[in-house]
Amino acid sequence: MGVFLGIDTSNYTTSMAVCDSDGILLNEKILLEVKEGERGLRQSDAFFSHISNLPIIAERIGRQDIIAVGVSSKPRDVEGSYMPCFKAGESFADSLGKLINVPVYKFSHQTGHVVAAAYSAERMDLLKTSFNAFHVSGGTTEILLCDGNGEKLEIENIGGTLDLNAGQAIDRTGVLLGLKFPCGPKLEELALKGKLPENPKICVKGLNCNLSGLENKVIGLKAKGVSYEDIALYALKYVEMTLEKLTGNLRSEYDLPIIFAGGVMSNSAIKKALSKYDESYFAERAFSADNAAGIALLARNTYSENK
């Protein structure tokens, strides 16, 4: 039997993954280059970067006996969900499918994240049941109700941020402290040397939160001369406490397993704080940040269902 190729072209990463009936064989990615001092990329720049990166990753993947291709064609499974950067991967997948005469299946970037996290946590069985998920990254901070009882994983947004995303807040903090975007891992390193300057006052109501206040607070702490290490710790603690409160509120409403997906969930302190909840599952760092592994696995499952 051949292999299944997954392709994902997000705001931050160009990625491809290959899986077979046993699991992931290859998971290759290239982070998009962001200029010093900037907090992200314009969609046109991201699209151009993907077009340049896709052949490089294809060479890394090498010649494979591909029997189906999966691709993330939109951010989320909701009407009107669209982002130009995903068109780069979709066009590549459509062209490849026609050239080698194999089916091309299209999924959302968010579904790929959830499936990749489930795979990394060795809980793929949850995809056939009902469960909750957090998708927390630079582009998304959402609480999801996932239903895998049918042929397709259905995802409903039931909460999350009302303004800034957690990854955005972390990256903006890092840029203010002179770190290169994306800033998550470096900010975590900085925070390990810090002391909490004050207890964060978070804003959570039910399953919703506000995170935009963090940026103003960081600006204020910097103006007061608080050390960068202490500011880094404060910012990550703010996000940690917000997610911990949301998780507690979620558990009081839904008694379901929780999968934590997205790049922010690879933070060690956040993971430790949320691990106290039973039936909480986390991905390894390689499967937390943007990647195509979940898309490859979805292509495999869809191909099997359609045989």
Higher model confidence: residue 225 or residue 34? 225
pLDDT of residue 78: 87
Q: At what angle do helices 228-253 and 166-176 cross, to 10 degrees?
A: 170
Distance from C-alpha of 247 to C-alpha of 199, rounded to nearest angstrom: 19
pTM, whole model, 2 decimals?
0.94
pLDDT band per the 50, 70, 90 thresholds, residue 181: confident
Confidence of residue 138 (pLDDT cuts 50, 70, 90): confident
What angle do helix axes 166-176 and 212-223 make, rounded to 10 degrees?
20
Cα 264 to chain centroid distance, Å, stands at 8
- 10 Å CB burial of residue 87 (0-12, 13-18, 19+) is middle
| Residue 150 CB-density burial (10 A; 0-12 exposed, 13-18 middle, 19+ buried) | exposed
With contact defined as beta carbons under 8 Å apart, do 81 and 110 qualify? no
Residues recorded for the chain: 307
Give, in order, the Cα–Cα distances in Å from 286 to each of 119, 138, 140, 271: 12, 16, 18, 15
State residue 225's pLDDT score.
97
Q: How far apart are CA 239 and CA 127, in angstroms?
A: 27
**Integer Cα distance of 153 and 175 in angstroms:** 37
Tokens 């239903």 label which residue? 147
Q: Is the pLDDT of residue 96 over 80?
A: yes
| The predicted structure's pLDDT at residue 36 | 76
Which pLDDT band, with edges at 50, 70 and 90, does 53 fall under? Answer: very high
Percentage of the chain beyond pLDDT 90 is 90
Q: Which two tokens stand for residue 213?
A: 């206040």
- CA proximity to 87, closest of 8, 27, 145, 30: 8
Predicted local distance difference test score (pLDDT) of residue 101: 98
Predicted pLDDT at 150: 61
**Mean pLDDT throughout 130-148?**
95
User: In the beta sheet, which residues pair with residue 15?
Assistant: 8, 29
3-state secondary structure of 168: helix
pLDDT band at 237 (very low <50, low <70, confident <90, very high): very high
pLDDT of residue 154: 93
CA–CA separation, 141 vs 191, rounded Å?
22
Average pLDDT over residues 279-285: 95
Identify the structural domains of the chain with CATH numbers, from first to last: 3-121+286-306 (3.30.420.40), 159-282 (3.30.420.40)
CA distances 280 to 73, 122, 155, 283, Å, are 28, 12, 18, 11
Q: What is the pLDDT of residue 151?
A: 65
Residue 213, SS3 per DSSP: helix
Q: What is the pLDDT of residues 250-274, one digit of tens each?
A: 999 999 999 999 999 999 999 999 9
Quote the pLDDT of residue 12.
87
User: In the prediction, which pLDDT does 306 show?
Assistant: 85
Mean pLDDT of all residues in the chain?
95
